Chains A and B, each alone.
Chain A
Amino acid sequence: MQDAVLARQAMARQRRGRWLAHAALALGVLIFAFPIWITLVGSTHDAATIGRGDVPLLPGGHGLENFSTALGEGGGRMHTTPAAGMLLNSAIMALLIAGGKIAISLLSAYAVVFFRFPLRMAAFWTIFITLMLPVEVRIIPTYQVIVNLDLFNSFTGLTLPLIASATATLLFRQFFLTIPDEYVEAAQLDGAGPLRFFRDILLPLSVTNIAAMGVILFIYGWNQYLWPLLIINDRSMETIVVGLAKMIGSGDTQNEWNTIMATAVLAMTPPVLVVVLLQRWFIKGLTETEK
Chain B
Amino acid sequence: MDRKVIFKGRALPALLLLPQLAVTLVFFIWPAAMAVWQSLLQQDAFGLSTEFVGLENFADVVADPAWRGAAANTAVFASSVAMLALGVALFLAVQADKAIRGQRFYRTMLIWPYAVAPAISAVLWLFLFHPNIGLIGRALNAAGVMWDYQLNGGQAMLLVVIASAWKQVSYNFIFFLAGLQSIPKSVLEAAAIDGARPLRRFWTVVFPLLSPTTFFLLVVNLVYAFFDTFGVIHALTKGGPGKATETLIYKVYVDGVDNLNLGSSAAQSVLLMVFVIALTVVQFRFIERRVHY
Contacts and interface: CB of A to CB of B under 8 A. Distances in A.
Contacts of B52: none
A290 B277 CA distance: 17
B6 A114 contact: yes
Contact of B16 (A108, A142, A219): A108
A242 interface: yes
B147 interface: no
Contacts of B1: 177
Query: Which of B26, B123, B253, B280 counts the most chain A CB atoms within 10 A?
Result: B123
Contacts, number: 304
Interface residue tally on B, bucketed by range: 35 or more
B166 A163 contact: no
B138 A53 contact: yes
B163 to A, nearest CB: 9
Interface residue tally on A, bucketed by range: 35 or more
B124 A257 contact: no
A88 interface: no
B150 A184 contact: no
A265 to B, nearest CB: 10
Interface in B1-58: 1, 3-10, 12-14, 16-17, 19-21, 23-32, 34-35, 38
A230 B113 CA distance: 26
A237 interface: no
Query: Which of B1, B106, B235 counts the most chain A CB atoms within 10 A?
Result: B235
Contacts of B29: 126, 129, 133
A112 B17 contact: yes
23 contacts: A17-B98, A17-B198, A25-B96, A25-B106, A38-B128, A55-B135, A104-B19, A111-B14, A116-B6, A127-B21, A129-B28, A133-B28, A139-B269, A181-B3, A223-B117, A245-B231, A250-B150, A253-B133, A267-B117, A272-B116, A275-B115, A287-B178, A291-B220
Interface of B: 1, 3-10, 12-14, 16-17, 19-21, 23-32, 34-35, 38, 88, 91-92, 94-96, 98-100, 102, 106-128, 130, 132-135, 138, 150, 166, 169, 171, 174-175, 178, 192, 198, 216, 220, 227, 230-231, 234-235, 238, 249, 252-253, 256-257, 262, 265-266, 269, 272-273, 276-277, 280, 287
Interface of A: 10, 13, 17-18, 20-22, 24-25, 28-29, 32-36, 38-39, 42, 50-51, 53, 55, 103-105, 107-108, 110-118, 120, 123, 126-127, 129-134, 136-142, 144-145, 160-161, 163-165, 169, 177, 181, 184-185, 188, 193-195, 197, 219, 222-223, 225-226, 229-230, 241-242, 244-245, 248, 250-251, 253, 257, 260-261, 264, 267-268, 271-272, 274-276, 279, 282-283, 286-287, 290-291
Given A108-B16, A129-B29, A193-B7, 6 more contacts: A20-B95, A22-B102, A29-B109, A115-B13, A241-B120, A251-B126
